[in-house]
Amino acid sequence: MSKMSFIETLEERGLLVKPYETIWDMKRRQQRLRKYIQERKAKMANDEVTKAEAEDTATTSENLAQKFSRIASKRLQNVLDDLRILRNCSGPSYEYTPEQVDKMDKYIQDEFDKLKAAFRGEKVVEKSVNLL
């Protein structure tokens, strides 16, 4: 909204101060101005919600297979990256026992088995573990 159209809007609504007004007229005008500002803020917020809904609608046009592919690819990449980082612990800068490696292998294998079971539709029970 341009400055002139904003001023014209205020004039149309009787929200501009006139030099001969009484204090009571000014207070009423101030109340109307506050109400107008609240209405504008509410309309702007509603417009933002409408824009957000439009963006959500655009993203919901993605079918479930595309959604799975998009999300699973990112998560799989994160898992692979974390495994590569964990592999760095096998270097000469660290000291570990074969039992710790076996325990780590068991935890990873257990989680992988739970993953496969979940995709087969089987119920997966989470257990707390004592890591290394």
User: Residues 52, 70: one domain?
Assistant: no
Number of domains within the chain: 2
Cα 25 from chain centroid?
47
Does 130 map to a domain? Answer: no
Compare 23 and 107 and report the one with higher pLDDT: 107
Does 125 map to a domain? Answer: no
Does 7 map to a domain? Answer: yes
Domain limits at 79?
Answer: 64-119
* pTM of the full structure: 0.49
Does 126 map to a domain? Answer: no
Tens of pLDDT, residues 79-120: 999 999 999 999 889 999 999 999 999 999 999 999 999 999
User: Residues 51, 90: one domain?
Assistant: no
User: Residues 45, 77: one domain?
Assistant: no
Query: Is 72 a residue whose pLDDT tops 70?
Result: yes
Does 112 map to a domain? Answer: yes
Q: Which residues of 97-117 are buried (b: 16+ CB within 10 A; e: fewer)?
A: eeeeeeeeeeeeeeeeeeeee
Tell me the mean pLDDT in the region 8-34: 70
User: Residues 52, 68: one domain?
Assistant: no
Nearest to 110 by CA among 125, 96, 90, 95: 125
**H/E/C letters for each residue in 87-130?**
HHHHCCCCCCCHHHHHHHHHHHHHHHHHHHHHHCCCCCCCCCCC
Cα 8 from Cα 12, distance rounded (Å): 6
User: Residues 49, 93: one domain?
Assistant: no
User: Residues 82, 52: one domain?
Assistant: no
User: Residues 39, 81: one domain?
Assistant: no
Q: How many residues does the chain have?
A: 132
